[in-house]
Structures are given as structure tokens and as C-alpha cells.
Structure 1
Amino acid sequence: MLGVSTEVVDVCVAGGGPAGLTAGLLFARAGANVLVLEKHPDFLRDFRGDTVHPSTLMALDELGLAEEFLTLPHVELPQLPMATAMGPVTFADFRRLPGRFPFVAFMPQWDVLNFLAESARRYPNFRLIQQAEVTELIAHDGTVTGLRARTPEAVLEVRSRLVVAADGRNSLVRHHDLLQVAASRAPMDVLWFRVSKPAGERLPAVRSGRDFFIVCIDRDEYLQVAYMIPKGGFEAVRARGLDAFRAAIAAIYPSLTAALTVEIDDWDAIKPLDVRVDRLRDWYRPGLLAIGDAAHAMSPAGGVGINLAVQDAIAAARLLAPTLRDGRTPTTAQLRAVQRRRELPMRVVQFAQLRLLTDLYPSAERPGTDKPLLARLLRRFPGLAHVVARVIGLGVRPEHVPSKPHAPRLEAMTQEK
């Protein structure tokens, strides 16, 4: 039987993804005592978002970390081209964006998370515990006062002034109906797989056609492929057989035919992603705040999920850290202010994903088209690519990291050491 271990901190973050680690880093930088709990032993999980947009690079720059971050292996794309049946179009053109980073950086998410974790560990008041699966929240008189987690060594009981739920679309707060989902739609699903790159050939990263939409992320040694299918359609794909699946991909990218035959040899090589686009009615209750996918699940369209999560974390830390640093508990009004700050950007992106981009993807509810609305608009109005770049690259309401943290409690801790 596992023993019980107790921790007391200012902020306990459930989830070590982009939102959780950014929040942990920023709260610690501001002087709060922070504990981040991550259920996995490491960050080496494939088939996760890899796009780091200018808004995130600007935040890292404000932290003095951008140059170090960009020494990690990555690919910079100043434009996102898309091949369509009507011809090539530029989906987004970042070259006119203000600032030092007029591009999207493609970097494996495990490298991003390792970098954020190592950067946060430079603060003595930050800790990350991995293999710590959060199992329940602790509440008293309607206020969340901490949480419990299971680790290999013990049951961990954490008491905190604030719990940040950054544990994704399957968050504990959703699973236990602690915060209610207000609206939810499921536009499509995604099948992820990896395949070797054809020698000497550069494939279009995005291709759109009648009844298909596919994205190839170049990871240097191989391609990570996202193949969109109608919502709930994976069993129908399986019923048609693996040969039919490989043939469908080869019809889009003929040069992958040989690699598909050898490397996609069973269904275990294909990972289905259940796509949802939803949002919570309220992101908070006394003592608790949800951010990132826990508050608003996004589709992979535009690769904006990571960057919205990071922006949520910046806003939360900026609005709440002074209170926590002073040893006080954020009020419900302060928690509500975070949602009010971040709800408009989230709604704009979700509207675009569900309306403007909807006919890019295959659907069981409507016939496919090889002339999707967005592609037609981009061909007729090429300047729209700059607008798209601004919306997905910087967001409707970019957040900025405070330039000078005031952290008397951190200084006191350092002096004690």
C-alpha cells in the first residue's frame, strides 16, 4: 500500500504540456512557489502539435530565451503553401508580421517541452514531478484547495492557493464535471503515422482535394503525416483494409508508395486522434483555473493549439502572480478576468476552424469538394494570406510577458540558501 506524501505550494499545475510548463515557468519567475505534475515519465510522445508560431517565439524572446530555443533543430517556414486541385495557394504568409520572427518554426513538441522544463528549473521555487497522475481535486466549502496524485512511490497530496488545470481535452475537471462544457463540435478525426522521406524529393506540406486533406511534417529523417477523415470514420477505414488505406495515401503522394508498403504493415502503425472543438462555460471556480485544451479544445487546423495555450498561460501568470507572490489567494473575480481576457481570441479561432475551414476536410455529412471556400478566397485575394498569418501567427489579442518580475519571495529564498 502506498504511503502519503504532502506538499504545500502557492500554485499546483496539473499537466506538463505547453500550457502547464509555460504557466509554471512564469509563476515561478514572478516569485510564486510552483509544482507541476505530469503523468508521463518523459515528453517523448509522437503525433503532437509541432508548430511554434511567432506569438510564442515573441514570448520566449521577452523571457530572454528565444536565441537559445532556436538553436534546437527546427525548420522555419515564412509561408505555408497548400497544393489544391485549383493549383497552389499560399495559406498563410508571415513575412510581413512585425517583430523578429516572421515565420513558423516546426519543432518536435518533446524538444519544446524539454526546453520549457529546463528553463523553469533555473528557478529554485519551481519543481516538476513526472509519473504523477492527478486523480482528484481537494475542495473545502466549495473552494479548491489542492489535489491528489498517484506516483510510483506514494500518493501525493498537494495543498495550494491555486490549482491550474492544464491537463488537456481529457482534463480531470471535465471528466468529473467540475466545469461544464458549453459548446462542442467534432469536425473530423485525424490519422497520424510516420513514413520515410523519398530521397531527393520535397513534398508539398499540405494538400487538399475532393474528400481528402493531408499534412506532411518534415522531421528530417522521416515524415509525420496527418490524414483527415470524417468524424468517427476510422472503423470504416479499417473495414476497407490496409491496402486501400495505403493506396489512398499513395494516390496523393505517389513517391511514398514503396515506403508505405514496407512501413505501414499493420494498423498499430496508425494512431487515430479524436478531434473536438469545444469550450467550457466557465474556466474557473474558487481556487481553480483551466487553461489551454482543458478550457477549450481546438482542432489541428492552423496548428494554433500550442500557441493559444501558451497565451493563456501568459495571461494567467500576469493577472494572478502578484496576488500569489504576496501570499494571497486569487479571488473569483481575478480568475474570471483571465477567461475574459482569453475568451475572444479562442472564439475567433474556433469560428475560423468551424466555419471558414470546414469544407477543407472530409465529412460524412456533406459531399467533398476540390474547390474549398478558403482556397478560392486565397486565389482571388492573395493578400488574405497576410491576414490569415496575423490571426494564427500573433492572435487576436497577443499577450506579453512582464519585462521585470518583482519577486521578493524568490530573493528571500535565494538568500536563505
Structure 2
Amino acid sequence: MQTLTSRACVVGGGPAGMTAGLLLARQGVDVVVVEKHGDFLRDFRGDTVHPSTLQVVAELGMIDDFLRIPHSKVGTITVQTPAGATVFADFTRLRHRFPYIAFMPQWDVLDFLARKGQAYSGFRLIQKAEATGIVRDGDRVRGVRARTPDGPLEIRADLVIAADGRHSTLRRAAGLPVSASAAPMDVLWFRLSREPDETMSFLHTGPGFVLVTIDRGDYWQVAYVIPHGAHDTVRAEGLDRLRTDVASVHGPFAGRLRSEISAWEDVRLLSVRVDRLRTWHRPGLLCIGDAAHAMSPAGGVGINLAVQDAVAAARMLGPVLRAGRTPSRRELAAVQRRRSLPVRAVQTAQVHMLADLYPKDRASTVERPLAARVVRRFPFLTRWTARFIGVGLRPEHVD
């Protein structure tokens, strides 16, 4: 078994893990980031970059390089129902340096963060290394075990940061209890080619489904939102039902659906989970991002909450690690206290306040969701909803 030693070991090369690794290395902390894949090329990952994340990149002095990544900008989120179109969130009204959401392929974002991290001597990214468990010394976590093509690897560290997603191996190995909520929906993802200058509203409701379309330049990333747990029912109804539903929203899709969605293998299921850990830490271990709190894809806020967790953790714990000390229970708990309010607020909104935006069964149509009725009656709230989605209740800063 190969053994490495570092001040910090970050498990998971997603937005939370890569941000935490970059920020710790920037402070002079030796950090190893462990990623189980050999690259970042996974489709249908969250690709929304919100104003809060753009602000973090700007504070790092990297925003000009970052915005050279191909992306599209969205200034408003419009909900289209049989009752009409409603602007649900208007980012253009934010008093913010970045009054928009940037839709940017996540693999490009992660490549960018990895490249910037590797500019620091203390940053090391190990890919094709899948974490299999934790190294313990009594009740303290002392490191991580991983499986690699070259054999087993053990990384000893003063702090292990678990950023390995909603199916976190480390949080399970540490025995951290999970508090789960009822997920409001599941999502079927697929691609459809996009015609030049073709435009669509962001969200449409239909009988038994909601359709979300994200402009990717030469294609649409499409989310066909169904009742939670209804995937078997949808498959039994057949692809023709899905094609008919999507074409009912946008007629020109009909031909593309027949030629581009020929089998269920062209459609990817995201089974939505909404949960959070009661305690995010053990001595020597801290969970952040989806490993601490799995989010619904509603609003695309999961990535940005994960990044905010990483910023807070690095800012609060980096000086401790740089001083050669292992963070105490109290210091780890302080990170959780800092981040719990935004997480709870967003999950409450996703599970309860926006619950009637999603279909309850395969027959009913969402016509007048409460959230849309409220912002239609009080248009000034579109700036508040944009701030809640795009900036959050407790935005984090690098320094």
C-alpha cells in the first residue's frame, strides 16, 4: 500500500471539493484532492453558476479567465403554465456585479479550478482514485483509504473533507446520521439539437410533467420532470408519451425527438433526494456540499451552496491547518453552524414552498402554482426570489 501525508485531504473532485482544494492551497496548506474518475466529462451534471459563485471567482482575481469559458447568460426565469407566463425571478434587478445566471458546462468549470489549483505547489490532484473508507485512530479520523489502478492508497491528513456527493462513502463510513425529506419530483434528462436563434421559456408545465429547457448553444439540455417515484410508470407508458408531451410544449421538437431520442438509453434518470446530516463532522472529518446536504435540482442551487460551503470551510479552517494544528470539534461545528441556515432555508423552499410547481401524478396539470401566483400579484418579489436563488441568505467571501 502506498502512503501519502498531507495537511488536508479532500475527497471528491466536484465543485465543492475542487473549490476547497484550491482555496486551501492558496493559503499555503498542503492539500490532496482525490477524484475517482479520470476526467470530469459527465453529462447532465448541474451547470448553473450563480452570482454568488461568480463573486467568489472575482474575489480570487480569476473572473476574466473564467468568463472565457463558453457559456450563456440568463437574466430571468420564466414559468409557463396554462394560466400564462410568469417571470419568477429577475436577476437583472439585482444590485450585484453579476446580475445573471451563467450556464456553463460543469466539466469546464472543474477543469478551470483544477488548473488554477495546480498553480500552487501545495495542491495535488489524484484522479482514478476511489475512496473506500477512512483511517481511524480511536474516534478520530486520520485519513482516507482509496483504490487506484496502481493498487491501494492511504492518505494521512490532519483534516479530511468529504465532498464525495449525495452517495458519500465517507459519511457512511463515519456513521453520520441523515435526516431525509420527501423529494418532490424525479428528473429525466436528455439532449435535443437546437436551431439557430431558437428560444424557449425556461419552464413549462403539462399533464403529468414539467419541462425545463437549458440553452447550450447548439443543443438544448432538457429536463422532463415527473412525480417522485414514477419512473417505472413513465417507462411503461413508452417513449411515445414522452415525445408527445415534449412536442406539445414546442412543436418543432417533434422531428428531433423521433430521430434523437430513439431508446431509453438516450434518457438519463436523476432520482432526486433531499436530505442533510444532523452532524456534518467527526474529529478529523468535515462533510460539505451534497455529502452534507443533498439538494433538489430546483433552481440549480446545489452547486452554489456546495461552493459556499467550501469557501466557508477554507476560510475558517485554513488558518488552523496552516498553523500545523488539527481543527477541534468546536471549529468544525462552527462551519456547520455557519452553513446550516442557508441549507435549511433552501431545502424548505424546495420541498414545501415550491412543492405545487411539480406534478403529483401522471394525469394532472400544474396550472396556477402558488409561487407563480404570488410573484404575479406582487412583481417586486421577482428581485427577492432572484436574490434568494442567486445570492442566498448568507453569501460567503474568500477573505
Interval of TM-score (by shorter of Structure 1 and Structure 2) = over 0.9
2:176 match: 179
Q: Pick the aligned partner of 1:396 from 383, 389, 393.
A: 393
Question: Is there any run of 5+ residues in structure 1 with no aligned partner, and where?
Answer: 403-417
**Is it true that 1:120 corresponds to 2:117 in the alignment?**
yes
The Cα shift of 1:204 comes to 1.8
**Is it true that 1:86 corresponds to 2:74 in the alignment?**
no
Q: Pick the aligned partner of 2:263 from 261, 266, 277.
A: 266
Give the 3-state SS of the residue equivalent to 2:305 in structure 1: helix
2:187 match: 190
Q: Residues 387 and 291 from structure 1, CA distance in 2 versus in 1: closer, same or farther, beyond 3 angstroms?
A: same
Give the 3-state SS of the residue equivalent to 1:195 in structure 2: strand
Give the 3-state SS of the residue equivalent to 1:239 in structure 2: helix
Q: Residues 240 and 318 from structure 1, CA distance in 2 versus in 1: closer, same or farther, beyond 3 angstroms?
A: same
d(CA) in 1 for partners of 2:381 and 2:349? 14
Question: Residue by residue, what CA displacement relative to the aligned partner does 1:11-69 show, whole Å, maximum 9, x if unpaired?
Answer: 10110000000000011111110000000111110001111000000000000011110
**Is it true that 1:142 corresponds to 2:139 in the alignment?**
yes
The Cα shift of 1:177 comes to 5.9
Question: Residue by residue, what CA displacement relative to the aligned partner does 1:231-260 show, whole Å, maximum 9, x if unpaired?
Answer: 111111111111122111111221100000
CA contact (8 A) 2:208 2:362 kept: no
Question: What TM-score do the two structures reach when normalised by structure 1?
Answer: 0.93
Aligned residue pair count: 399
Q: Residues 365 and 243 from structure 1, CA distance in 2 versus in 1: closer, same or farther, beyond 3 angstroms?
A: closer
**Is it true that 1:97 corresponds to 2:94 in the alignment?**
yes
For 2:29, give the aligned amino acid.
Answer: A
1:48 match: 45
Give the 3-state SS of the residue equivalent to 1:113 in structure 2: helix
Identity over aligned residues, as a percent? 56
1:277 match: 274
**Is it true that 1:106 corresponds to 2:92 in the alignment?**
no
**Is it true that 1:340 corresponds to 2:331 in the alignment?**
no
Question: Residue by residue, what CA displacement relative to the aligned partner does 1:259-305 show, whole Å, maximum 9, x if unpaired?
Answer: 00011000100000010111000000100000000000000101000
CA contact (8 A) 1:79 1:94 kept: yes
For 1:181, give the aligned amino acid.
Answer: V
Q: Pick the aligned partner of 2:297 from 300, 305, 313.
A: 300
2:224 match: 227
**Is it true that 1:386 corresponds to 2:387 in the alignment?**
no
The Cα shift of 1:200 comes to 4.4
d(CA) in 1 for partners of 2:213 and 2:127? 31
2:234 match: 237
Equivalences for residues 8-19 of structure 1 within 5 A: 8-19=5-16
Q: Residues 222 and 121 from structure 1, CA distance in 2 versus in 1: closer, same or farther, beyond 3 angstroms?
A: same
d(CA) in 1 for partners of 2:71 and 2:13? 21
Question: Residue by residue, what CA displacement relative to the aligned partner does 1:330-373 show, whole Å, maximum 9, x if unpaired?
Answer: 00000000000000000000111011110111124995431111
The root-mean-square deviation of aligned C-alpha atoms, in Å, is 1.4
d(CA) in 1 for partners of 2:198 and 2:155? 52
Equivalences for residues 19-30 of structure 1 within 5 A: 19-30=16-27
1:415 match: none
Q: Pick the aligned partner of 1:331 from 307, 328, 351.
A: 328
CA contact (8 A) 1:210 1:370 kept: no
CA contact (8 A) 2:208 2:361 kept: no
1:352 match: 349
d(CA) in 2 for partners of 1:319 and 1:245? 48
d(CA) in 1 for partners of 2:346 and 2:162? 21
CA contact (8 A) 2:81 2:366 kept: no
